[in-house]
Structure 1
């Protein structure tokens, strides 16, 4: 049992693996990623098995709702004829982040997206892939993103430098946003849960004083579940916006 609010975020090596100076151990982070990916694959497989049902059941309704949500985000944020080529990338990104966030709401589980190295790696890899797609679409003209139209030539070095810095910080900001929200929310739930447990174990105090902290914990847990869903949405929307900028430039 974790007694510190930060103890739930500790990375524990389960299978130590050292390759020279590289530390490639199998940790609890890797362990909890496996059921997340397995659950997504199993859910999609069960829904698409034999072509699905004409009248969708609960599983199929969930997958169809997620599948319909992603194209709406893609169509709203990305313009051009090549936007549907990005649908698999956006769908996998949203589904993975959503299930990782919601998995962390299960007691005694591990929130993968509460670690900055995970969210940073995810956002940086997506940014690199989006940049490659932009160069494949526009060629060397992709460099024009760093120079807004109408800028006088003598002032060109300044907006170019600012745009390059802004482009580099996009991946950083996406990773920080997801990590910070998940870590802050889970820490708050843990702190208030410990406070509620202490109040419930005390004797000689009013019943209302015991129930009130527990009610706050339940309310905060529901709010954190909403944050887990909304942060997956925000992360996906930011990837769509960056993809639109890379494909359509200015």
Structure 2
């Protein structure tokens, strides 16, 4: 029966036999169970592209480690970025007439310098340039990993909240360390604006602390939500178009043109969203760095 479902599902006699079996045996019939097994396990799930699968299982004592597809994806992305930077920055790699890779690296470097100079105030140019390489690495890594989900049979690392949350929290901790290095314990003064009456101080400290901590969440949630929603939409429409095309019916083929054109129309904007999220991520880091180094000077208010 299972072979018939897989190979002869368009056969009229097979369909009549299936209906007769269902009428006679109900949900306990063999045909019903085979159909459930086939259609329940064979129908593509749009969320399968986000599944984490272990590739190499490792165990140290009672602790289990797994090298998963996100690990492989991040390793490949990091290797590609480092390889590109190596060929551009190695001795003799920089050319007076830049090639495509060198032009890309120079473009990313210049692109990062603009928000660093515009968003981070109160610092000299030399101090600002210390942040530029680190932000450039973050931007480059995001530019390579965000559009990965547009490649068939690939894995979108930034579509998992725990991964983006770990990234945003590590950046948030680094920005907090920069704030303490720059201002010492005076960095905590942003929690209590000047001139606040003492009875209101605990409430205002809490009101300032909550949005400050939520910045770490907002970085990760924004990136995760955009990647998850966009790639899922493209996957669902692509699956619908492929299913209609696979039915070998002229009517379905004509009806397939609509979803197919929608998929093609969404591919470009989704690729743009994946790239723009890297830019938004970079701008957010620069804004948070400015607040950490200048103690939210533009946002502080005075309560008499």
Q: TM-score, normalised by structure 2?
A: 0.78
Higher mean C-alpha displacement, 186-195 vs 102-111: 102-111
Root-mean-square deviation (CA, aligned residues, Å) is 1.8
Q: Which residue of 1 aligns with 2:55?
A: 14
In 1, the alpha carbon distance for the partners of 2:240 and 2:160 equals 25
1:221-249 Cα distance to aligned partner (Å, 9 max, x none):
11110011111111111111111111110
Name 2:268's counterpart in structure 1: 222
CA contact (8 A) 1:2 1:8 kept: no
8 A contact 1:199–1:213 mirrored in 2: no
| Greater C-alpha radius of gyration | 2
- 1:42 equivalent to 2:83? Answer yes
Q: Which runs of 5+ in 2 are unaligned?
A: 1-41, 298-304
**Partner residue of 1:65?**
107
Which whole-Å deviations, capped at 9, do the CAs of 1:174-224 have from their partners, x for residues lacking one?
101101110111100110001111222341327653322111111111111
TM-score computed with the length of structure 1 as normaliser: 0.94
Shift of 1:85: 1.8
Q: Secondary structure at the match of 1:18?
A: strand
1:46 Cα deviation from its structure 2 partner? 1.7
Structure 2 counterparts to residues 155-194 of structure 1, below 5 A: 155-194=200-239
* Counterpart-to-counterpart distance in 2, 1:22 and 1:148: 47
Flag as ranges the 4+ runs of structure 1 deviating above 4 A: none
C-alpha distance in 1 between matches for 2:128 and 2:196: 29
Q: Taking CA–CA contacts closer than 8 Å with sequence separation of 6 or more, which of the two structures ends up with the larger relative contact order?
A: 1
Specify the SS of the correspondent of 1:53.
Answer: coil
Which has the higher mean CA deviation after the structures are superposed, 46-55 or 123-132?
A: 46-55
Gap runs ≥5 in structure 1: none
Bigger mean CA deviation after superposition, 192-201 or 178-187: 192-201
Q: 1:4 pairs with 45, 49, 52, which one?
A: 45
* Aligned residues between the structures: 250
2:67 paired residue among 26, 33, 40: 26
In the TM superposition, residue 154 of structure 1 has moved relative to its aligned partner by 2.5
In structure 1, the residue corresponding to 2:55 is in which secondary structure?
Answer: strand
